[in-house]
């Protein structure tokens, strides 16, 4: 299996690229990372948390994971903005390493694997989210790690440590972005539908236990917020489906990834839908369950965004920042289809 493959020049090259990429992120932000209104809120929460180590200082509108990371790195470095630069640089390094693992799982050719990694590493949208004080790099780390662990649990289900690691990673993803809830759904569906070695009862037990364990951090955070009287996530549930403007922004973001005119974004969206459905319905000829997991990832993430905009946050922009978790899976899927 690929998990037992010996290291070859691709892994050393990927490691070197990851180190170089981390250096570029850190050295390219001498005056600090880019900021947005969300970034200012993260820093404020991190400062308050580090000063009193009190969870009550953290706003419920966002999960506590990223402000806590900022507080930890800010305390270590002595400056929150320096700590944020170190954090985003480290996350860029880790994300490239994890992408290298996923690319190598899919491709037996080291040359193709290296080309894929370069394409992903140089994608402007991928680089941009690491240059701004946003949660997306940490979220990317956890989603990529979830895909690797889920592949391992499905293809080699022996051993509890990978199951519990999968639950932990999914739970941490929810604590970085509430959108991490879609990983809980992916993990459960994949364990039920894509694992064929165990009896149905065993698959159901695994899916339920991993899902419940993944939701424990979110449940604890929700109960804590309710106990301080500010609401579970400071959001109301109201039906407001996305309009045409949201779709135009969505197709524009997809077209931008391929450097196409915005008007052709619908063609990219249609291609993504056809590709993911085709991979889910076709026979698994690659020897790995990962292509189907990538297809599930894209469909579940898009479905989560639709539900989130329709019922929770009507002002969620469908820009590069929000859509970037789909970028690595889509590049990898395009290779599988080819």
Query: Are 267 and 222 in a shared domain?
Result: no
High-pLDDT (> 70) share of the chain, %? 89
Query: Are 246 and 285 in a shared domain?
Result: yes
Query: Are 29 and 49 in a shared domain?
Result: yes
68-120 tens-digit pLDDT: 999 999 888 888 889 999 999 999 999 998 988 888 787 656 666 677 777 77
Would you say residue 208 has pLDDT above 60?
Answer: yes
Question: Alpha-carbon distance 222 to 224, whole Å?
Answer: 5
87 in Cβ contact with 70 (< 8 Å): yes
**65 domain-assigned:** yes
**3 domain-assigned:** no
**149 domain-assigned:** no
125-157 tens-digit pLDDT: 999 999 999 999 999 999 999 999 999 999 887
**150 domain-assigned:** no
| CB atoms closer than 10 angstroms to residue 108 | 12
Query: Are 224 and 108 in a shared domain?
Result: no
Question: Alpha-carbon distance 317 to 268, whole Å?
Answer: 18
Query: Are 28 and 128 in a shared domain?
Result: yes
Last residue of a domain, one of 234, 257, 289: 234
- pLDDT, residue 198, reads 67
Domain encompassing residue 320:
235-338
**141 domain-assigned:** no
DSSP 5: P
DSSP 191: H
- pLDDT, residue 184, reads 95
Query: Are 185 and 221 in a shared domain?
Result: yes
Domain count, the chain: 3
**144 domain-assigned:** no
- pLDDT, residue 8, reads 62
- pLDDT, residue 5, reads 47
- pLDDT, residue 50, reads 83
* Nearest residue to 100 via CA among 87, 88, 89, 116: 116
Count Cβ atoms within 10 A of the Cβ of residue 229 and give its class: 0-12 exposed, 13-18 middle, 19 or more buried: exposed
- pLDDT, residue 1, reads 45
In this prediction, residues 306-329 reach a mean pLDDT of 89
Question: Alpha-carbon distance 79 to 47, whole Å?
Answer: 10
High-pLDDT (> 90) share of the chain, %? 40
- pLDDT, residue 305, reads 93
Report CA dihedral (82, 87, 89, 94) to the nearest 10 degrees: 170
Q: Which two tokens stand for residue 104?
A: 């190598």
Query: Are 290 and 276 in a shared domain?
Result: yes
Query: Are 175 and 94 in a shared domain?
Result: no
Would you say residue 260 has pLDDT above 90?
Answer: no
Provide the residue count of the chain.
338
- Which residues are CB-contacts of 207 (< 8 A; sequence separation ≥ 6)? 187, 188, 191, 192
Query: Are 272 and 190 in a shared domain?
Result: no
Query: Are 14 and 114 in a shared domain?
Result: yes
**67 domain-assigned:** yes
**97 domain-assigned:** yes
Query: Are 212 and 251 in a shared domain?
Result: no
- pLDDT, residue 212, reads 96
* Nearest residue to 203 via CA among 190, 185, 215: 190
Query: Are 126 and 202 in a shared domain?
Result: no
């Amino acid at each position: 299996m690929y998990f037992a493959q010996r290291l070859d020049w691709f892994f050393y090259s990927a490691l070197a690229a990851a180190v170089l990429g981390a250096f570029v992120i850190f050295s390219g932000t001498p005056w600090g990372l880019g900021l947005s209104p969300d970034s200012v809120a993260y820093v404020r929460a991190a400062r308050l948390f580090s000063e009193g180590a009190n969870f009550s200082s953290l706003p419920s509108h966002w999960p506590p994971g990223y402000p806590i990371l900022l507080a930890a790195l800010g305390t270590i470095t002595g400056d929150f903005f320096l700590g944020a630069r170190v954090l985003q640089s480290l996350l860029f390094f880790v994300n490239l390493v994890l992408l290298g693992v996923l690319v190598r799982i899919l491709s037996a050719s080291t040359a193709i694997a290296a080309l894929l990694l370069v394409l992903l590493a140089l994608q402007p949208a991928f680089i941009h989210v690491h240059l701004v004080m946003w949660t997306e790099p940490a979220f990317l780390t956890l989603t990529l790690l979830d895909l690797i662990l889920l592949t391992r649990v499905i293809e080699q289900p022996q051993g509890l440590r990978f199951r519990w690691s999968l639950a932990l990673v999914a739970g941490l993803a929810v604590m970085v972005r509430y959108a991490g809830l879609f990983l809980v759904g992916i993990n459960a569906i994949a364990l039920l539908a894509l694992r064929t070695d165990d009896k149905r009862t065993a698959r159901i037990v695994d899916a339920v236990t991993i899902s419940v364990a993944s939701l424990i951090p979110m449940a604890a955070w929700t109960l804590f917020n309710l106990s301080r009287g500010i609401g579970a996530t400071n959001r109301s549930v109201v039906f407001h489906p996305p309009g045409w403007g949201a779709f135009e922004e969505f197709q524009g973001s997809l077209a931008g990834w391929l450097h196409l005119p915005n008007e052709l974004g619908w063609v990219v969206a249609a291609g993504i839908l056809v590709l993911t459905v085709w991979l889910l319905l076709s026979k698994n000829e690659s020897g790995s369950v990962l292509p189907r997991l990538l297809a599930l990832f894209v469909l579940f993430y898009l479905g989560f965004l639709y539900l989130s905009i329709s019922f929770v946050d009507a002002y969620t922009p469908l820009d590069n920042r929000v859509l970037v978790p789909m970028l690595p899976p889509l590049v990898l899927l395009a290779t599988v289809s080819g």
